[in-house]
Structure 1
Amino acid sequence: MLNKPSDYIEAGLKLELEEDLKYLFNSTADIKMVPKGTIVLRQGQRVSSLYYIHKGIMRGYYIDAAGNDVTKCFAAETEFACAEGLLRVEEARFSVESLQDSICVVIPYNSIDQGMKKTNQMKVIFTNYIQKILVGMLNREQALLMKDALERYMEFKREYSSLESRINQSYIASYIGIRASSLSRIKRSMKIE
């Protein structure tokens, strides 16, 4: 049974935390219900906490000069949201909202900094996570620059196969850099073939 923040993190990451980290998470992190539609971080706001998602989906998005939102990324179960603070930025470059009712462990960044100083395990956890983020960003950049819309959609389906039916189609279209009507045409053409 999951009762404490460390229980959620251990279960999701499939590891046993060192005692110092368990204590740190349990004394500084909170388990929160985040209702669908909640913006947990606004573009330009100070980045103060990392969200570990136990249940639910979050979406990162930019607001462009015309006030439109452009989807940057998705995070779901056993992943982190609002991870920009790991890169030591003060202000968020994008917003993060909950796309479903979510259960999250909210970890203050100052606790992560403390954990990094105390244990190698914290460094390993977040070094691996940052590497995963970097690979994802490089793959996405290549897709946006080198692949057509159908290829980008197929890549989305591979990368986020368990999320497609749980995410609004307009967010998927925005993520792959096309309009929702274009995504509908791609999906129709795939059914015909």
Structure 2
Amino acid sequence: MDVLIEYFQKYGIEKNLANKFTQFFYEKKYPKGSTILSMGENTQTVCFIKEGIVRGFYINTDGNDITKCFSTEGSWCCIYNMLRPSPSEFWIEALEDCIMIQISVDKLKHMINTIPESQRLYTKLCLEAFIHSDNRNVNFQKMKAVERYLLFIHQYPDLEKRVKQEYIASYIGITPSSLSRIKRNL
């Protein structure tokens, strides 16, 4: 749980309180290829990624697998039911063997309602997630494909070596052959 304590401290939570927070969490392993959250399922846990990579994806109306997001070490996944308590509109899968530090949604809600510092941290994290998502949407609309790829490489410097190229292409809104062409021309 040391990595989670360090994460909380990075956001201004003192060590004693960070230790108190971690008592609500537990560790769980997911093998590569396993489904962490299925489309249509309500999130029961919120996960902090200690090791590994996950991706969120959905199948569009044409039957194509579209990568919505990536989450890596030191970030969160499966938080959507905290924001909107409805069935998930996408899947989350482990792209590598993953170790997650998890908390049940009920325990997290209890923490947020009873510990003021956790409410402030949760608000800060939600704002960061919103800004990241909004920036991605704006960039997607304004940037050319090569610019989106370069931004992806900047934001996720080690991810290109760890995930399939087709997932990256899907994430930045191009075909795998277009991504290959862009990489050849850089």
TM-score normalised by length of structure 1: 0.87
Shift of 1:30: 2.1
In structure 2, list runs of 5 or more residues that go unmatched. Answer: none
Root-mean-square deviation (CA, aligned residues, Å) is 1.7
Secondary structure of 1:45 counterpart:
coil
2:5–2:19 Cα contact (<8 Å) kept: no
Q: Which residue of 1 aligns with 2:128?
A: 132
Shift of 1:88: 2.7
Secondary structure of 2:96 counterpart:
coil
Residue from 10, 23, 26 that aligns with 1:30:
26
| Alignment map for 1:1-193 (pairs within 5 Å) | 5=1, 7-14=2-9, 15-16=13-14, 18-19=16-17, 22-23=19-20, 25-26=22-23, 28-190=24-186
> Matches of 1:17 and 1:171 in 2, distance apart?
38
2:42–2:81 Cα contact (<8 Å) kept: no
In structure 1, list runs of 5 or more residues that go unmatched. Answer: none
> Matches of 1:36 and 1:163 in 2, distance apart?
15
Task: Report which stretch shifted further, 121-130 or 35-44.
Answer: 121-130
> Matches of 2:97 and 2:171 in 1, distance apart?
21
TM-score normalised by length of structure 2: 0.90
Secondary structure of 1:90 counterpart:
coil
Shift of 1:65: 2.4
Structure-2 change in CA distance of 1:12 and 1:163 (3 Å): farther
**1:42 counterpart letter in structure 2:** S
**2:137 counterpart letter in structure 1:** E
Report sequence identity in percent. 33
> Matches of 1:92 and 1:33 in 2, distance apart?
21
Task: Report which stretch shifted further, 88-97 or 168-177.
Answer: 88-97
Shift of 1:160: 1.1
Shift of 1:89: 2.3
> Matches of 1:117 and 1:106 in 2, distance apart?
18
Q: Deviations over 1:101-137 (max 9, x none)?
A: 1111121111110001111221122111111111111
* Count, aligned residues: 183
Q: Deviations over 1:138-178 (max 9, x none)?
A: 11111221111001101111111132211211111000000
Secondary structure of 1:67 counterpart:
coil
Q: Deviations over 1:45-87 (max 9, x none)?
A: 1111111001111101112223321011111111001111221
2:4–2:22 Cα contact (<8 Å) kept: no
> Matches of 1:59 and 1:189 in 2, distance apart?
27
Shift of 1:25: 4.1
> Matches of 1:155 and 1:120 in 2, distance apart?
36
Secondary structure of 1:107 counterpart:
strand
